[in-house]
Homo-oligomer: A and B are copies of this chain.
């Protein structure tokens, strides 16, 4: 069905229904009385229904008019809301930010970032999940997510910015012979069994650590692999071996595990924000303002 009905007619109708007097309503609408009279007539013609009963030159809403008034008010209200929402989405105040991150970002960087973003954009829905580095870059390129947080690696076709440089530390069981030392060197651990990230899920982490060991003159004996930090720390606590982790580290089992600085001059482990330059999401823009702003100083 094709109605010629327009919001302009609804706006007029609501005012006339409010005043129940065409002349006064016309003044409020900056129109003349005849013009408004014809608008109402046109609306009634469109609907095929009388909205006002002209009883003795006086306007009264009909039952159909009462019903339509309620709906017209709601309609105008919702139209305004739709406009406001579109504008807010445009400004990035409203929408969804799809953010993925590696586990080691969860301990310090992520809470700090999200806290600041939440405060500035309370109406943005945050779609959060952990994801490995490789899958993040894929998802970013295909536009399935907006922001990635991962360590190492240049991502072709993606923009990145380092937001944190964190040292590697050694995780030792409290009962370990070196646990009393404040700093240790990698070479000290040459004979120890290692617990490391599963190579299958993220080869860079595994390979980099093994590379550091070789540079220190030994081939690490990896007795156990695990897919997440928590498990690795638990295994270290249980005495299955030592490990190398990125600081800040999880505070589980503080009685059973200690973290020690490394005296070796290892390059810092960089945490980067990554996004696609093709992604025009205003919410992403807001997020990047936050990330780039303070760092550009």
Contact = CB atoms under 8 A, between A and B. Distances in A.
Contacts of A66: 89
B282 A63 contact: yes
A80 B3 contact: yes
A152 interface: no
Interface string A279-293: 011110000000000
Residue of A8, A49, A86 most packed against chain B (CB within 10 A): A86
26 contacts: A1-B80, A3-B79, A3-B80, A5-B79, A5-B83, A7-B7, A46-B83, A48-B87, A49-B87, A50-B90, A63-B90, A63-B280, A63-B281, A64-B90, A66-B89, A67-B86, A67-B89, A67-B94, A67-B95, A68-B85, A68-B89, A71-B81, A72-B82, A74-B78, A75-B75, A75-B78
Chain A contact-residue range equals 35 or more
4 residue pairs, one from A and one from B, having the closest CB atoms: A71-B82, A64-B90, A68-B86, A49-B90
B86 A64 contact: yes
B85 A282 contact: no
A143 to B, nearest CB: 11
Contact of A71 (B8, B50, B78): B78
A91 to B, nearest CB: 9
Contacts of A5: 7, 79, 83
Given A1-B80, A64-B86, A64-B90, 20 more contacts: A3-B79, A5-B7, A5-B79, A6-B6, A6-B7, A7-B7, A47-B86, A49-B87, A63-B89, A63-B90, A63-B95, A63-B280, A64-B87, A66-B89, A67-B94, A67-B95, A71-B81, A71-B82, A72-B82, A75-B78
A215 interface: no
A285 to B, nearest CB: 10
Interface of A: 1, 3, 5-8, 46-51, 53, 62-68, 71-72, 74-75, 78-83, 85-87, 89-90, 94-95, 280-283
Question: By DSSP majority rule, is chain A's interface helix, strand, loop, or mixed?
Answer: helix
Contacts of A78: 71, 74-75, 78
A280 B142 CA distance: 63
Contacts of A83: 3, 5, 46-47, 68
Nearest to A74: B78
Nearest to A82: B71
A64 B82 CA distance: 10
A88 to B, nearest CB: 8
A3 B79 CA distance: 10
Contacts of A75: 75, 78-79, 82
Nearest to A85: B67
